[in-house]
Structure 1
Amino acid sequence: MTRRSRLGEFPGGVLEINAYDDDPADGQPGVYLEIYHAADDAQRGTEMRYRATAIGYLRTDISGVAQFRDEGQIRKLAARLGYDFADMIVYDPKFGRPPLARLKAQATRLDADAVIVPGPEHFEGGQVPGSLVRQVDVITVTPEETYARCAVPM
C-alpha cells in the first residue's frame, strides 16, 4: 500500500489529505481527509480565559516505557508555569500520519499559547521546528528551555 500526503495551511487551520493507493474491490483508491479550522469551535473567542493554554506533545517511540512519566512531567511543568493544560498529543509513528500537522492543527483549534514536550528529541531530527515556534511557544522539560515566538524571525 502506497500512501501520499498533502498538507495545506490556511489562516486558522490545516488541511491534510492522505491518499492510499491500495487495490480495493471497487478499484478506487482510498482518500482520507481531515480539515481543522479554528472557526469550527463555536465558542472560540466568546469565553474569557484566565490563564494561557498549553498542550503537551510526545512520541511513543522516544518515550517508550517512560511515556506515563513524561506525560506527568509535562502536566507538572504546565501547572508550575501557570498554564491551563488543554490536551496531550501522543504520536505513534506506526500510524504514519504527519505529526507536526496534527500538532499545529490542535494548537490552532484550542488557541494554545504553548506546546510542552519532554525534550527536543521528540521532534524530527532532534530540533524544535521553526514553523511551530512561529505559531506557539515551545517549552522543553529536559533541559527546561523556552523557544519563544518573539525570538524567531518571520
Structure 2
Amino acid sequence: MELQSHGDESDDHCGFYLEIHGHIALDGHDDQGAVMRYKPTALEYLRTDVSGIGQQWDESEIRRLAQRYGYDFADMVTYDPNSGRPPLARLKAQATRLDAEAVFVPSLEHFEDGESPASLVQKLDIVTVHPEETYARRPMPPLRNIPPVKADGA
C-alpha cells in the first residue's frame, strides 16, 4: 500500500490517494477467486479427575475434531477439583476474553451432573467428542413462575 500525491492540487488544497499493490482486492477476493475466510475461535475444557491418565488422548481428540469442524483452537482450560475454584469460572472468563464461539469437551461427563451447563449454552456451542454431538447456543426460555404484567397497571 502506498500513499501518493495527486500532483495537480493548488496550494490551498492538497490531496492524496491510496494505491494498493498485490493480489487481494478490496472485496476480499484474490485474482484466482479465492476468498479470505474467518475461522471461529474454540476452547477446550476437561476435568483432570475424569480424563485421568487419558488426558493427553482427550486433548488430541478434541483438537482433531475442532480442526475438522474448522475452528481455530485458542486455549485449553483444565479443571482440577482439588483446586477449590468454581468449575466453570476460568472457562467462562477465557471464552469472554477470547470471544470464543465454541467449547470442545471429551464428553458431558466433564460437566457437573453429566449435563451441558445452561449458563454455558447461552454463550457458546458445546461440542462433545464422545459421542460426537453439538449443543448449539440458545437463549434460555422465560421463567414460568413469574406472573404476567398487565398493561393497565392492575
Residue 102 of structure 2 is aligned to residue 114 of structure 1: yes
Matched, 1:95 2:73: no
Question: How far off is 1:49 after superposition?
Answer: 7.5
Q: Give the one of 49, 55, 62 matched to 1:67.
A: 55
Which structure is higher in helix share? 1
Greater strand share, structure number: 1
How far is the alpha carbon of 1:150 from its aligned partner?
A: 3.3
Q: TM-score, normalised by structure 2?
A: 0.66
Structure 1 residue 102: deviation in Å?
1.2
Task: State the partner residue of 1:132.
Answer: 120
- Deviation >4 Å, runs of 4+: none
- Distance in structure 2 (CA, Å) of the matches to 1:101 and 1:133: 14
Quick one: distance in 1 between partners of 2:72 and 2:108? 22
Cross-structure match for 2:38:
50
Identity of aligned residues (%): 66
The offset of 1:88, in angstroms, is 0.4
Shift of 1:153: 3.6
- Give the AA of the match of 1:66: G
Corresponding residue number in structure 1 for 2:72: 84
Distance 1:142 1:152 in 2: 25
Q: Which runs of 5+ in 2 are unaligned?
A: 1-35, 143-154
Residue in 2 aligned with 1:150?
138
Is the radius of gyration larger for structure 1 or structure 2? Answer: 2
* CA RMSD, Structure 1 to Structure 2 (Å): 1.7
The aligned length equals 107
